[in-house]
Amino acid sequence: MKWFAQRRRILVGGASGLACGIAGGIAAVALLAGGASGGAREAGDSFITAGHLPPLLTVPGQRVTLRYAIVCPPAGGDSDAGRPCDGAGIVYIRSGHSGPFEPLALERSAGSVDGRFFADVPSAIASSPEGFSYYAVLRDRAHGTEMTLPAGGAAAPQASFPLRDAVTVDLGSHVFGSPRRASARVVSTQWGTGAGDVGLSGGKTSARIGPSSFDASPDGTVTLLDEINHRVQRWRGGAVVRSVPVDVPAAADDLAAAPDGSVYVLDGRSSAASTPLLRTFAADGRLVAARHIAERSWSQLRLGPSGPVVQQSPSEQWMPTGDATTAFSRAAQARHGDPGRPLDDGSQLVVLRAGMGEVRIARVVNGAVRQAWRITSQTPLGEVQVADRTGARVVLVVKAYTNTQDEFELLVLDGRGVVKRFSVASSEWADAAPLARFRLVGPALYQLGSTPEGAFVDRYDLEGVS
């Protein structure tokens, strides 16, 4: 009897141990899972960002309104779902590009389709012969957070320049369906993972991404970023001459190649709680540097006179990420923000796509407009893929589109107007970095395209443009 009682106690002890253990195990995992996702900020937590389209280039008589979207949580959190936050802000503005700023309080409009907060620029400032410069301090009054836009503030404010003697070009309505044939196909690949193939991600129900960027050099070498296969391919004479592995995300990264063979890759991934990373790789694919850009997102990476430059958002400014000897911190990048892309001769090329069908371009030297163009079109114009100087001329590649058609329009411009003009098929079957479809190298324009079969790079010879 005692033996049975003892056995019974052992069995009961074991059974209750099992029960408690199972419950404890599940509870522990649940707690750990919660902990892993715990720390999640609630809706009332504060953050602030903004949207702003700077009026980089104005035309005579233009009324200028600065508009801002202030993005921050509503005062009541979830209970205020659907309602805007309690934003406010002050624009500090001045005529020209030096001297003290004067404050201009932002007003609040009923709608937010172009940004809820606005300030009309006084006409005396808007019509200043040197243009004007400004920055904004934006606030979330409910939570006390604020931000300065651009981040460089008074040290690197937004700049706007007047176009007084711009060369005007009226493109009329774009005629679709007659694109020019390329001079040569210099890269031709199929989708895949083998040598000479390029990777493709996505599918029927998700975004397709192919080789996301490329660059070309004066000797005709094409550097192709095959980020899905984590490698950089170098093509010459229609064949791969070198392929090196690089540790980059399989996203829509941008690339710029330096003359010494090193490449810069700007990541198209959403880096956790930080800004995108610009990596520098040696010619053999070895990672030699990595730095975060100043702002939350970017539109393009190019090689400037002193190193890589990145056009960043929300400021829309071009910022160098370093010079020959120093990698710039995020704050230092912001302090060097400029409205235009720096060119080798020390000038800047400022570009604004205005309204629905206008592109404004200005070459700015020592803070003043030296040359300017206004290109207007009856057909809506999309993104400016290329605005670059070659010799005394400017090459512009811009998208012309309707709701159902699209082609690129190429223009070679000089001081009198259009020197050359033709259309290029868009060939955008797979996604790439937003402004990595074209590269201009001297008188050669290269295009990265894709089809259901694979990707290619075509060359268009712009004879006699320099």
Map the footprint of another protein across residues 129-188, applying CB under 8 A. none
Should residue 204 be labelled a site residue for another protein when binding is judged by CB under 8 A? yes
66, 69, 126, 364: residue in contact with another protein (rule CB under 8 A): 69
DSSP state of 12: H
Q: How far is the CB of 241 from another protein (least distance, A)?
A: 28
In three-state secondary structure terms, 204 is coil
Q: Residue 25 phi/psi, 5° resolution?
A: -60, -45
- Per CB under 8 A, contacts with another protein among 16-55 are 16-26, 28-30, 33-34, 36-43, 45, 47, 49, 51-54
Should residue 438 be labelled a site residue for another protein when binding is judged by CB under 8 A? no
Q: How far is the CB of 110 from another protein (least distance, A)?
A: 6
- Per CB under 8 A, contacts with another protein among 265-294 are 268-273
Residue 306: CB partners within 8 Å, gap ≥ 6? 320, 322, 323, 324, 342
Select 221 or 317, whichever has its Cβ closest to another protein.
Answer: 317
- Per CB under 8 A, contacts with another protein among 227-246 are none
Should residue 259 be labelled a site residue for another protein when binding is judged by CB under 8 A? no
Should residue 78 be labelled a site residue for another protein when binding is judged by CB under 8 A? yes
Measured between alpha carbons, how far is 243 from 230 in angstroms, rounded to an integer?
10
76, 202, 391, 415: residue in contact with another protein (rule CB under 8 A): 202
Beta strands in 126-200 (DSSP E): 132-140, 145-149, 158-162, 167-170, 184-188
Q: Show the site string, 366-385: x = touches another protein by CB under 8 A, - = not.
A: --------------xxxxx-
211, 314, 322, 337: residue in contact with another protein (rule CB under 8 A): 314
Choices 126-134, 235-243, 329-337, 349-357 (CB under 8 A): range interacting with another protein: 349-357
Q: Take residue 442 and report the two structure tokens written for it.
A: 């001297």
Residue 257: CB partners within 8 Å, gap ≥ 6? 215, 216, 217, 223, 263, 264, 303
59, 240, 250, 365: residue in contact with another protein (rule CB under 8 A): 250
Select 201 or 262, whichever has its Cβ closest to another protein.
Answer: 201
62, 145, 183, 201: residue in contact with another protein (rule CB under 8 A): 201
Q: How far is the CB of 261 from another protein (least distance, A)?
A: 26
Residue 217: CB partners within 8 Å, gap ≥ 6? 223, 257, 259, 441
In three-state secondary structure terms, 126 is helix
Q: How far is the CB of 278 from another protein (least distance, A)?
A: 15
Residue by residue, DSSP assigns 214-276 as EEE-TTS-EEEEEGGGTEEEEEETTEEEEEEE----SS--EEEE-TTS-EEEE--S--TTS--
Q: How far is the CB of 22 from another protein (least distance, A)?
A: 4
Q: Take residue 106 and report the two structure tokens written for it.
A: 């932002």
Q: Take residue 448 and report the two structure tokens written for it.
A: 């990265």
Q: How far is the CB of 445 from another protein (least distance, A)?
A: 18
